[in-house]
């Protein structure tokens, strides 16, 4: 088997067969390949040493691991046993409570059913009372006269007590008199207010000044027109 040094130191006789440059290039490539392979071999050897060391360590720890596994198994079995015992106790207690709750629930349900049926019975009784009351109201409404009954009663009265229509007197509207006032007939409201006595306004006495042209007029609710 050739070594890298032997490959580096190799020489060929000069001839007419191959070009020297190609041979040198090939030799360089072979050298690089061998160097890479050597490096990889060194890495593999180093990794194998590490693995071998770890295997030895694992073998040394194997007994410890086995004992730990056995201990863990015993603890796990004990934990499972205790958990099963606790679960059985909890289940028994839950079943007892469930039976008690079911009993109370049945009693409460029976009571609620009784109350519900009582309410239904009271509702039926109330409905019967309302129906009787509505029947009385409907009968009272039916006893009241209708429009047709009023018409029949009016026709009956017209037959029994015939009447003749009376013409209402025609009301003739009278023409309102037209009043004209001269400039000298205008009454000063201040003069009227000066002569107005509110005490005499409802007694029929004169409340207009004697100097006024309306001094002969009399007012009041006790004034008698026929006396003039």
Per-residue pLDDT of the chain (228 residues; tens, 9 = 90+): 566 676 667 666 666 666 777 777 878 888 888 888 888 989 999 999 999 888 888 887 887 888 888 899 999 999 999 999 999 999 999 999 999 999 999 999 999 999 999 999 999 999 999 999 999 999 888 888 888 888 888 888 888 888 876 666 665 565 555 544 444 444 454 544 444 444 444 444 444 445 544 455 554 555 454 554
Length of the chain: 228
So what's the pLDDT on residue 84?
92
Contacts of 203 (CB under 8 A, 6+ apart): 220, 222
* CA separation for the pair 153, 161 (Å, rounded): 12
Query: Could you tell me the residue ranges of all domains in the chain?
Result: 4-120, 192-221
Q: 218 and 205 in contact (C-beta within 8 Å)? A: yes
Q: 145 and 153 in contact (C-beta within 8 Å)? A: yes
Helices (H), 144-188: 147-160
Contacts of 151 (CB under 8 A, 6+ apart): none
Buried b (16+ CB within 10 A) or exposed e, 180-218: eeeeeeeeeeeeeeeeeeeeeeeeeebbbeeeeeeeeeb
Full-prediction pTM beyond 0.75?
A: no
So what's the pLDDT on residue 15?
62
So what's the pLDDT on residue 150?
87
The whole-angstrom distance between residue 39's C-alpha and the CA centroid of its chain comes to 78
């Amino acid at each position: 088997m050739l070594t890298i040094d032997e490959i580096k130191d190799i020489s060929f006789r000069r001839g007419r067969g191959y070009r020297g440059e190609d041979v040198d290039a090939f030799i360089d490539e072979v050298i690089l390949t061998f160097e890479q392979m050597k490096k990889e071999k060194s890495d593999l050897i180093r990794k194998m040493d590490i693995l071998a060391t770890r295997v030895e360590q694992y073998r040394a720890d194997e007994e410890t691991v086995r004992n730990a596994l056995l201990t863990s198994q015993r603890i796990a079995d004990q934990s499972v046993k205790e958990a099963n015992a606790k679960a059985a106790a909890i289940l028994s207690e839950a079943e007892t409570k469930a039976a008690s709750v079911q009993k109370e629930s049945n009693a409460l349900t029976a009571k609620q059913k009784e109350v519900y049926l009582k309410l239904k019975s009271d509702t039926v009784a109330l409905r019967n009372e309302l129906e009787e009351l509505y029947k009385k109201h409907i009968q009272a409404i039916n006893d009241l006269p209708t429009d047709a009954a009023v018409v029949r009663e009016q026709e009956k009265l017209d037959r029994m007590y015939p009447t003749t229509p009376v013409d209402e007197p025609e009301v003739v509207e009278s023409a309102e008199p037209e009043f004209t006032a001269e400039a000298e007939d205008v009454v000063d409201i201040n003069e009227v207010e000066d002569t107005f006595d509110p005490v005499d306004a409802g007694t029929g006495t004169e409340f207009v000044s004697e100097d006024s042209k309306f001094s002969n007029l009399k007012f009041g609710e006790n004034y008698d027109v026929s006396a003039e």
